[in-house]
């Protein structure tokens, strides 16, 4: 996976997520909404066969890159907890 920044401003970043699809982008988009500083968290895929996802994140305060990193770290923790709990049941 590679990230290609399309546009970056003080409280806004738009970036392409190369090699990914709805699975990852939807999880990150949803996790971003758990942070108060998130004003906009969205992504689009123009065409599922030929387009890469483009994510848009806007924050009311702070750096949007920091917010994306926080959301990714939070998502990793949740996945780890899920895996541990699932492994207990199997």
Boundaries of every domain in the chain:
2-89
CATH number (3.90.190.10, 3.10.20.520, 3.10.450.50, 3.30.1360.10) of 2-89 reads 3.30.1360.10
pLDDT, tens digit, for every residue of 31-50? Answer: 999 999 999 999 999 987 88
pLDDT, tens digit, for every residue of 56-75? Answer: 999 999 999 999 999 999 99
Q: How far apart are CA 62 and CA 13, in angstroms?
A: 12
CA distances from 13 to 30, 78, 83, 86 (A): 16, 24, 31, 35
Write down the pLDDT at residue 14. Answer: 98
């Amino acid at each position: 996976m590679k990230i290609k920044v399309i546009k970056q401003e003080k409280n806004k970043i738009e970036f392409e997520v190369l090699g990914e699809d709805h699975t990852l982008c939807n999880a990150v988009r949803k996790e971003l909404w758990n942070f108060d500083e998130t004003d906009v968290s969205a992504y689009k895929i123009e065409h599922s066969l030929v387009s890469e996802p483009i994510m848009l994140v806007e924050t009311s305060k702070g750096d949007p890159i920091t917010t994306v990193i926080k959301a990714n770290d939070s998502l990793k923790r949740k996945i780890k907890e899920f895996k541990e709990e699932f492994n207990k049941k199997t």
